[in-house]
Chains A and B, each alone.
Chain A
């Protein structure tokens, strides 16, 4: 447990240091969301209707931004060897890294989202659903993303391949996340929200095992 905590604290610290992804992801999220009205135009009704989808797509892209270094940085500087020999099972190490990624990337996006919702003229009934769906859904982005990061850890400039692997896999989170916001706006029940929760639970529960297996596969080559 001490080793888990040590790795969690180290990864969070690294995320806020130079070259870490925490503030970068938040800034990217804000920037992409703020750019959309420039492209779509100033039709406030239209903006309010697509706000949930726009914010969810931006959140997914922002989470991806810092994922490629999740295992690769440790692989390159030899930290992964150090981790492999620690009392912590590789699955536990992957879980700590996923949690650290979510706390430093996913959570700031959640905090930022109401402000950006305001910017996109999201109608008042949508805010609760927006924040709730991002809290429930962003862990899935970190989890599924970690699997992709582990698969591509030995590939130079693996970030692009990572995006190609991960983006199709997180489509369910996008559909149900944006759907949950839409449900709230139209008063059409909680179906999308429940599906999002189910997807997220499954992704978070399985991803440490899949990521650990992918790391082993890469090191054994």
Chain B
């Protein structure tokens, strides 16, 4: 599974709307590692993750993803192909049922795992036929976790993955993160809460 050995961020500077959010930020995460990005509101945790995923261009700095095969990926859209994502928005279509949403994710990411099994694992099995618009925020998050599993990517970028999850959901999320790292994956999490996992902490302060 370990196809990605190191994510390296060097002297990253982020500007949004003409305002500098942070500058000269450097950190790295190696295979099997959980890195948490912490900091006050507006410190740029979400922006940092969006830059890593390739959604946002960086104002300056370098991002390298070192593959175990020897080469490194730097291009923003190629980086995105390595990323499993949970963001502020759930990426769930309200008009489609839970199963239809999950099947779409599986087909989009070319997953070869059984979709219903994954939904069972995240605790949504009984809601399979329910249109996603009737899901609670926590249940939507669980559907996001299902997408994370289905996407089968080595690098997980998670923006507040625990928000609106109940106690069991938090345990599930922590468990999934732990399993992913045991498989040789890398997880970078922006969060205000403790995951209950062995994680390296990185603090993003205001400039």
Interface string of B51-94 (1 = CB under 8 A from A): 00111110000000000000000000100110111011111111
B139 at interface, CB cutoff 8 A: no
> In whole angstroms, what is the CA distance A15 to B112 when docked?
28
B151 at interface, CB cutoff 8 A: yes
Q: Which residue of A lies closest to B144 (CB)?
A: A78
Chain A residues with CB under 8 A of B95: 14, 17-20
Chain B residues with CB under 8 A of A116: none
Known interface pairs A83-B108, A219-B56; A14-B88 also in contact (CB < 8 Å): no
A14 touches B93 (CB 8 A): yes
Chain B residues with CB under 8 A of A18: 95
B199 at interface, CB cutoff 8 A: no
Chain A residues with CB under 8 A of B80: 84-85
Please give the distance in Å from B125's CB to the nearest CB on chain A: 22
Chain A residues with CB under 8 A of B110: 2-3, 87
Contact of B108 (CB < 8 Å), options: A3, A14, A19, A89 = A3
Q: Which residue of A lies closest to B84 (CB)?
A: A85
B56 touches A220 (CB 8 A): yes
Please give the distance in Å from A72's CB to the nearest CB on chain B: 13
Chain B residues with CB under 8 A of A78: 87-92
- Report how many A-B pairs have Cβ atoms within 8 Å: 82
B105 at interface, CB cutoff 8 A: yes
> In whole angstroms, what is the CA distance A77 to B92 when docked?
7
A86 at interface, CB cutoff 8 A: yes
Chain A residues with CB under 8 A of B89: 76-78, 81
> In whole angstroms, what is the CA distance A6 to B94 when docked?
17
Q: Which residue of B lies closest to A10 (CB)?
A: B104
For B80, B84, B107, which residue has the most chain A Cβ atoms within 10 angstroms?
Answer: B107
> In whole angstroms, what is the CA distance A83 to B91 when docked?
9
Chain A residues with CB under 8 A of B81: 85, 87
Please give the distance in Å from A215's CB to the nearest CB on chain B: 11
Q: Which residue of B lies closest to A76 (CB)?
A: B89
Question: A81-B91, A82-B85, A82-B147 known; 20 other A-B pairs, CB under 8 Å?
Answer: A7-B104, A7-B108, A20-B95, A77-B91, A77-B94, A78-B88, A79-B92, A81-B53, A81-B85, A82-B105, A84-B55, A84-B80, A85-B53, A85-B80, A85-B83, A87-B108, A87-B110, A88-B108, A89-B77, A90-B77
Q: Which residues of B contact A (CB under 8 A)?
A: 53-57, 77, 80-81, 83-85, 87-96, 100, 104-105, 107-110, 147, 151, 153
Q: List 16 A-B contacts (CB under 8 A).
A: A3-B108, A6-B107, A9-B104, A10-B93, A77-B90, A77-B94, A78-B90, A78-B91, A79-B91, A79-B93, A82-B105, A84-B80, A86-B109, A88-B108, A219-B55, A219-B56
